[in-house]
A and B are shown apart, each in its own frame.
Chain A
Amino acid sequence: MYAENEPKQALEEIKQMMHRGSRFVNLSGWSGVAAGVSALAAAWWATKKYTDYGVTMQDYETIAPVTRTEKLVQLDHELLLLALITFMVSLLFAWLFTILRSQKTGSSLPGYLIRKIVVHIAVPMLVGGLLIWRITDFGLYGLVIPVCLLFYGIALINAAKFTLSEVRYLGYAQIALGLLNLWAIGYGLYFWAMGFGVLHIVYGILMWAKYERNEKADA
């Protein structure tokens, strides 16, 4: 009859179960740091590609509907591949650090919450992806990075209700950067490095300091 002796403890346990039952809290801050580092590496790689192809960032991120030269189309494909690889590497690290953290603390990974998060991230990302496809068909390459940032921000805000609520602020910050970029066409790579790189690293470190630093290994 612990409930009658310890109402406070019982309420505390109920609160904890409701929280753990509705939010995926195992996400590790290191996932954010890894995603940020990969994005920065990708941005650096992209600048090297620009140099290799002899184009400037402003040449590349055009919004004038001109026919792209064969050289630029080749660069498009290489940069698309680079972006896809960066995305996969980030996902892989996010998964790895989350599993490591769960093993350390001995907590289980709730499958239904992971499914909810995946769906809530995937829908805006797929819509954004299709929009980018059409945007590049029209030759508006300068809009690609702002749209990436905007839809990624929307995806984060959408998924935040099933994980740490701080993810929402990361989403707002990405949207703010995407909007600013709309008025600074041609400088997308800087916004990309800031949003996908620096913001992820800052977020990851803050979350690690808040939730993981004092976490004890499961005995």
Chain B
Amino acid sequence: MKNPISGLNKVFDNRIRLGVMSVLIVNEEISFNDLKGMLEVTDGNLATHLVNLEENAFIKVHKGFIGRKTNTTYSITKQGERAFKDHVKALEGMIKGIK
């Protein structure tokens, strides 16, 4: 039998990265500040995890402007969506395994 733990994605071990993905999967696009408020984290902390997710090609960054202020928004990639769903499936598999 396949080990369910093998389906877990190391990138999602972190709560904040998992939180970002959870919010992005239900929103087409979301700004840095809205993400920050939703996850209740500091700027630097969130930025580090976003870079990590971007390097894994799980999220896409869009840089825009509102007037003169920069407005950076994020959206999930196809690859990110697949990885997130596999991760959730693996978690569900583990629960079933315990029972």
- Which residues from chain A sit less than 8 Å from chain B, CB to CB? 1-4, 7-8, 10-11, 13-14, 17-18, 20-22, 108-112
A contact face: mostly helix, strand, loop, or mixed: helix
The closest CB in chain B to the CB of A16 belongs to B22
Determine whether the beta carbon of A3 is less than 8 Å from that of B38. Answer: no
**Please, how many angstroms separate the alpha-carbon atoms of A110 and B38 in the complex?**
7
Given A18-B23, A108-B37, do A13 and B5 touch, yes or no (CB 8 Å)?
no
Determine whether the beta carbon of A110 is less than 8 Å from that of B37. Answer: yes
How many A-B Cβ pairs are below 8 Å?
A: 66
Contacts of B37 on A, CB cut-off 8 Å?
108-111
Contacts of A7 on B, CB cut-off 8 Å?
91-92, 94-95, 98
Determine whether the beta carbon of B22 is less than 8 Å from that of A21. Answer: yes
**Please, how many angstroms separate the alpha-carbon atoms of A108 and B94 in the complex?**
33
A-B contact pairs, 21 of them (CB 8 A): A1-B13, A3-B13, A3-B18, A4-B5, A7-B92, A7-B98, A11-B91, A14-B88, A17-B19, A17-B23, A17-B38, A17-B39, A18-B22, A20-B23, A21-B23, A21-B24, A21-B26, A21-B27, A21-B30, A110-B38, A112-B30
Determine whether the beta carbon of A18 is less than 8 Å from that of B26. Answer: yes
B55 contacts the other chain (CB 8 A)? no
**Please, how many angstroms separate the alpha-carbon atoms of A22 and B26 in the complex?**
6
